A and B are shown apart, each in its own frame.
Chain A
C-alpha cells in the first residue's frame, strides 16, 4: 500500500520554540490532513489541505500542501506545554475510502 514517511519521529523542545515536521509520500494525494493525538484519546483533526500549494493556518499552526502533491509540512509557532502529543499526517484521495497515515511525530515541550 501507500507509504508516508513522517519526520522527525520525536522532538524535545523548550516552551516558546517553533516546531516543524513533515511528511513525504511515494505517490500523490488529493488531500493532506494533520491530526493530533493526546494520551488515551483518538486523533483530532487540526488542519486539512485540499489543493497543491495551499497554505492554511489554525491559530499557531500552519500547514502546507506540497506543489508535487507528495508532501506536506506542519509548523507550530511559540510552542506551549499543551502542544505535547503525537502528531500524524494522513493522505486521502477524493471520493475514496482509503486513508494512509504517517507513523507520527511525538512532541515533548519542556516548560
Chain B
C-alpha cells in the first residue's frame, strides 16, 4: 500500500532533550516536506527537500533540522526542543516539487514538550 509513515505518532518529552521524528514513504517520491499545525494557524512549512541531499527552509525552520540521505526517508530533528515546539507535525511527499503534483500527507505526530 502506497503511504507516508511517521514515527512516533505521539511523543511527550522535556525541554532540551534531543528527539527525532521519522518520516518514510514507499512511493519513490522525490519531494518531501515537513509541516507543523497549530490551532488557528493552519499548516506552516518547516523544511522541504527536492531530492536526496537537497533540503531548504520553509517558513518556520528555526529550532529544526532535517536530512535527506536517501530518497525514502526525511527525518525531522529537534536538537533542543522547547515548549513552543509543542504541535502536530505532518510529513508529506510527492513525485516532483512541480506544483502540478499531488502531495500525500502522513498521519501526523503529536509532540508535547514540557
Decide if A and B are genuine partners: yes
Query: Whole-angstrom distance from the CB of A66 to the nearest CB of chain B?
Result: 16
Q: Which residues of the other chain, A, contact B92 by a CB distance below 8 angstroms?
A: 42
- Do A1 and B42 have beta carbons less than 8 Å apart? no
- Do B59 and A48 have beta carbons less than 8 Å apart? no
Q: Which residues of the other chain, A, contact B31 by a CB distance below 8 angstroms?
A: 97
Query: Whole-angstrom distance from the CB of A9 to the nearest CB of chain B?
Result: 8
Query: Whole-angstrom distance from the CB of B48 to the nearest CB of chain A?
Result: 4
**Which of B12-20, B74-82, B97-105 touches A?**
B97-105
A92 CA / B103 CA spacing, docked (Å): 11
- Do A93 and B107 have beta carbons less than 8 Å apart? no
Query: Whole-angstrom distance from the CB of B70 to the nearest CB of chain A?
Result: 18
Q: Which residues of the other chain, B, contact A40 by a CB distance below 8 angstroms?
A: 107-108
- Is A100 engaged at the interface, CB distance under 8 Å to the other chain? yes
Instruction: Please tell me which one of the listed residues B45, B90, B100, B105 contacts residue A48 in the complex, with CB atoms under 8 A apart.
Output: B100
- Do B107 and A50 have beta carbons less than 8 Å apart? no
A101 CA / B28 CA spacing, docked (Å): 25
Q: Which residues of the other chain, B, contact A30 by a CB distance below 8 angstroms?
A: 99
Number of interface residues of A (CB under 8 A): 31
Contacts known (A42-B105, A43-B43, A97-B33); A50 close to B90, Cβ less than 8 A: no
Contacts known (A1-B59, A41-B107); A48 close to B50, Cβ less than 8 A: no
- Do A93 and B42 have beta carbons less than 8 Å apart? no
A33 CA / B105 CA spacing, docked (Å): 14
Interface residues as binary, B54-78 with A (CB distance below 8 Å gives 1, 0 otherwise): 0010110000000000000000000
A42 CA / B106 CA spacing, docked (Å): 6
Q: Which residues of the other chain, B, contact A67 by a CB distance below 8 angstroms?
A: none
A100 CA / B99 CA spacing, docked (Å): 12
User: Which residues of A (85-111) have their CB < 8 Å from a CB of B?
Assistant: 88, 90, 92-104
A residues lining the B interface (CB < 8 Å): 1-2, 4, 6, 9, 30-31, 33, 40-45, 48, 50, 88, 90, 92-104
Query: 28 A–B contact pairs at CB < 8 A?
Result: A9-B40, A30-B99, A31-B99, A31-B100, A40-B107, A42-B92, A42-B106, A42-B107, A42-B108, A43-B90, A45-B103, A48-B100, A50-B100, A88-B42, A88-B43, A92-B99, A96-B97, A98-B48, A99-B45, A99-B48, A100-B45, A101-B35, A101-B42, A101-B43, A101-B44, A101-B45, A102-B42, A103-B40
